[in-house]
Amino acid sequence: MAYVGGEAPARGCIFCTALDDDPRTRLVLGATERSIVMLNRYPYASGHVLVAPRRHTADLPGLDAEAHTDLAETLRRSVSTLDRILTPQGMNVGMNLGACAGAGIVDHLHWHVVPRWTGDTNFMTTVAEARIMPQHLLDTWDRLRPAFAWLDGRP
C-alpha cells in the first residue's frame, strides 16, 4: 500500500536526482565520486540494490577507465556487503542494456544486485505475477545504510 498510496516519484532520472533529497526518501545507500548505490524501489527480493555511474550515460563501452574502475569496485564491495549483512545463499548480478534487453531505465546504465535464498520465489510470483517482500523497503534501508558507510566515508 505504501507504493499505491504513496507520493508519486520525482520526474527525471532516478540516478541523477538521487542525491537531491534525503537519502532515505530516495533509498540511497551511499555514493562515491563516480558511482551511486541505492535500493530498488520495486525489488525482486529484499536487499535488491542498484549500482550506477553518477554520470548520466547508457554507454557502457564509453565509460572512461576511472569511472569503470570505480563502478567495478563499488559493485564488488556492494556484493560483499550484502553477503555479510543479509547472508543470502546466492546472488544475481546483472545489467540490462537497452529496452529490448529489459532495461527499465534505458538512458542510465546500472547493475542489479539481488540477494537470493532457496525458496524465495513462491507461488505468488509464479502464478499471480506479484511479489511479496518479507521486510518493508524502508526497514531494509535502515538495516543496510550503516553497512554501506564505506561508500562516502560515513562512520
Domains (range + CATH), the chain: 2-147 (3.30.428.10)
State residue 8's pLDDT score: 52
Q: Which residue in the list 48, 68, 108, 110 is annotated as catalytic?
A: 110
Ranges 9-23, 41-55, 74-88: which has the least confidence? 9-23
State residue 51's pLDDT score: 98
* Run of H or E including 113: strand 111-116
| Vertex 89: Cα angle to 81 and 111 (nearest 5) | 50
Edge-first strand order for the sheet with 90-94 is 28-31, 35-39, 49-53, 111-116, 90-94
State residue 139's pLDDT score: 94
Residue 68 appears among annotated catalytic residues: no
Strand partners, 11: none
- For the entire predicted model, the pTM comes to 0.84
How large a percentage of the chain has pLDDT more than 70? 83
